[in-house]
Amino acid sequence: MTNIINDETIEYVGILAKLELSEEEKEQAKRDMGRMLDYIDKLSELDTSGVEPMSHVFSVQNVFREDVVTNGDMREEILKNAPGEKDGMFMVPPTFD
């Protein structure tokens, strides 16, 4: 494969990641990214026909419970703790910046 990681690519990635890289770090990043792309190309050579697509290695089940109200309407009880109340809502002193 032709290495598509060039100086412009490294410069662009550095800008996106807000990194200031030395020349040595840029060269190392170029080599690392090139190796990653080579590995991905190698993986694409594998025959995956007959392999079912999946989103997770293990089967995933929804573990959430049904959303059921268990404590009911306790508005009056809760509003007793408010410093003030108006139309069923807490009234608090205003705050300013």
At residue 15, does pLDDT exceed 90? yes
State the distance between the two ends of the chain, measured CA to CA, in whole angstroms: 59
Residues 54-64 pLDDT 10s: 888 888 788 88
What would the pLDDT profile of 20-47 be if each residue is shown by its tens digit?
999 999 999 999 999 999 999 998 888 9
pLDDT score of 1 more than 60: no
Please say whether the structural domain 7-44 has been given the CATH code 1.10.20.
Answer: yes
- Within a 13 Å sphere around the CA of 26, how many CA atoms are in the beta-carbon half? 15
> Residue 11 in contact with residue 29, Cβ under 8 Å?
no
Q: Quick check: 53 and 44 in contact, CB under 8 A? A: no
pLDDT of residue 36: 92
Cβ atoms of 26 and 10 within 8 Å: the answer is yes
